[in-house]
Amino acid sequence: RYQKDSRQVVQYFEEDLKKQEEIRLHVISSIDKAIQNQWLRVYYQPLIHIQSGKPAGFEALSRWEDPVYGLLTPDKFVPSLENLRLIYKVDLNVLSTYGREIQKIQKIGLEPLPISFNISRTDLESGIDLYGEIERIVNALAIDKNLIHIEITESALNGDSLIMPQAIEHFHRMGFEVWMDDFGSGYSSLNVLKDYPFDVIKIDMEFMKKFDERSKQIVRSICEMATSLGTRTVAEGVETKEQLQFLQQIGCTYAQGYLFSKPKPVQEFFSLLPKRPSNY
Ligand code: C2E
Ligand code: MG
Ligand code: MG
Ligand code: MG
């Protein structure tokens, strides 16, 4: 009996791997088609300004709505596209999609809120002119640069190369805020704070998942340090009122998480957007 069961487990596991490999090959061979046919969608998750309780903006997160495989979350397509240095296509698609959405939002008499979008380290190593591409999209769609912030994950800063410090400086010169994603998930945290002038630090959601005394004390210290450096903070993965209350006490700037909303298509958030001031 035992023999039979374990064989079956192995069999499921192998089918799973086969399916994953199939999706990986599908994703890398159809990335251009996915963008052309709008299989790549942008979902938005609100960031709440903790002191006022008001929505302050959104994180833009990609989804792949595949006609065969259904809705694919980023773990199904981001790593394989990163490996081939093709993820910049997804990242630029987020920017141009929000640019078009801003125009729709304004047309119906609402004000857009800022978004932050994720870029991968390989965007800067793929040989394309990333800065030029971003500038071109921003100009073509007349996007206000204050509405766009760039998220760079802490792990992208690993290694000695100058590519990331130069990128941060370049994005600043272009007029974008640069936000550090997943702070505390790597081993370089303090150096990173010392060396890079990030506008916002997003605290990795592991601290909210654990939420024991130790994690809370670390989050408190990160927020104190950030505040004294003039840097705003986001707590990621906020799921309970208890967590929110704690974040309010320690002076964290924004909260993001399922307590407020999962990531959803833009029209789900129209009711959160301010009305456009009239000209009268
Ligand atoms: P991230 O940038 O750290 O994004 C936050 C992730 O946490 C999102 O997962 C979001 O759905 C999830 N999340 C938010 N609140 C909660 C919560 O309260 N509880 C839990 N358990 N999870 C929460 P998602 O959308 O699956 O994205 C995963 C990662 O994939 C992102 O992590 C980001 O690193 C990457 N990613 C997503 N979209 C893009 C993209 O367009 N370009 C690039 N380069 N990377 C992307
Ligand atoms: Mg992010
Ligand atoms: Mg994050
Ligand atoms: Mg992450």
Query: Residue 280 has what pLDDT?
Result: 53
Q: Which residue from 44, 75, 76, 118 has its CB within 8 A of the most atoms of ligand 1, so it is best to mutate?
A: 118
- Asked if the interface predicted TM-score (ipTM) of this complex is over 0.90, the answer is yes
pLDDT of residue 235: 98
Residue 102 confidence (pLDDT): 98
Q: What is the pLDDT of residues 102-154, one digit of tens each?
A: 999 999 999 999 999 999 999 999 899 999 999 999 999 999 999 999 999 98
pLDDT band at 202 (very low <50, low <70, confident <90, very high): very high
Residue 101 has pLDDT above 60, yes or no: yes
**pLDDT for the residue numbered 156:** 87
- The pLDDT tens digits of the residues spanning 3-15 come to 567 777 777 788 8
Percent share of the chain, pLDDT over 90:
82
Q: Is 155's pLDDT higher than 90?
A: no
Q: Given this model, what pLDDT does residue 188 score?
A: 66
What pLDDT shows up at residue 225? Answer: 93
Cβ neighbours around 217 below 10 Å, total = 11
Q: Mean per-residue pLDDT for 261-266?
A: 98
Indicate which residue's Cα is closest to atom 11 of ligand 1.
Answer: 263
Closest-lying ligand to the alpha carbon of 182? 3
Residue minimizing CA distance to atom 41 of ligand 1 = 62
pLDDT of 108 reads 96
Kindly report the three-state secondary structure assignment for every residue of the chain: CHHHHHHHHHHHHHHHHHHHHHHHHHHHHCHHHHHHCCCEEEEEEEEEECCCCEEEEEEEEEEEEECCCEEECHHHCHHHHHHCCCCHHHHHHHHHHHHHHHHHHHHCCECCCCEEEEECHHHHCCCCCHHHHHHHHHHHCCCCHHHEEEEEEHHHHCCCCCHHHHHHHHHHHHCCEEEEEEECCCCCHHHHHHHCCCCEEEECCHHHHHCCHHHHHHHHHHHHHHHHCCCEEEECCCCCHHHHHHHHHHCCCEECCCCCCCCECHHHHHHHCCECCCCC
What average pLDDT does the segment 203-207 reach?
Answer: 97
The closest residue, in CA terms, to atom 28 on ligand 1 is 74
Ligand 3 midpoint to CA 58 (Å)? 12
Question: 31-54 pLDDT, tens per residue?
Answer: 999 999 999 999 999 999 999 999
Ligand 2 mean position, distance from CA 4 (Å): 44
Tell me what the pLDDT averaged over the chain comes to: 94
User: How far apart are alpha carbons 195 and 189 in whole angstroms?
Assistant: 10
Q: Percent of the chain beyond pLDDT 70?
A: 97
Beta-carbon contacts of 178 under 8 Å, excluding residues fewer than 6 positions away, are 149, 150, 152, 168, 171, 172, 197, 198, 199
At 58-67, the pLDDT tens digits run 999 999 999 9
Q: State the distance from the centre of ligand 1 to the C-alpha of 31, rounded, in angstroms.
A: 19
**Closest ligand to the CA of 61:** 1
Residue nearest to atom 45 of ligand 1 (CA): 118
Q: What is the pLDDT of residue 15?
A: 82
- Ligand 1 pocket, residue 123 CB under 6 Å: no
**Who's near 167: CB < 8 A, 6+ residues apart?**
124, 152
- Answer for the pair 230, 178: CB distance below 8 angstroms, yes or no: no
Q: Distance between CA atoms of 151 and 168, rounded to whole angstroms?
A: 10
Report the residue among 35, 43, 61 best suited for mutation to probe ligand 1: largest number of ligand atoms under 8 A from its CB: 61
At 14 the pLDDT is 82
Distance CA 180, CA 171 (A): 13
Residue 49 CA, ligand 1 centroid: distance in Å: 19
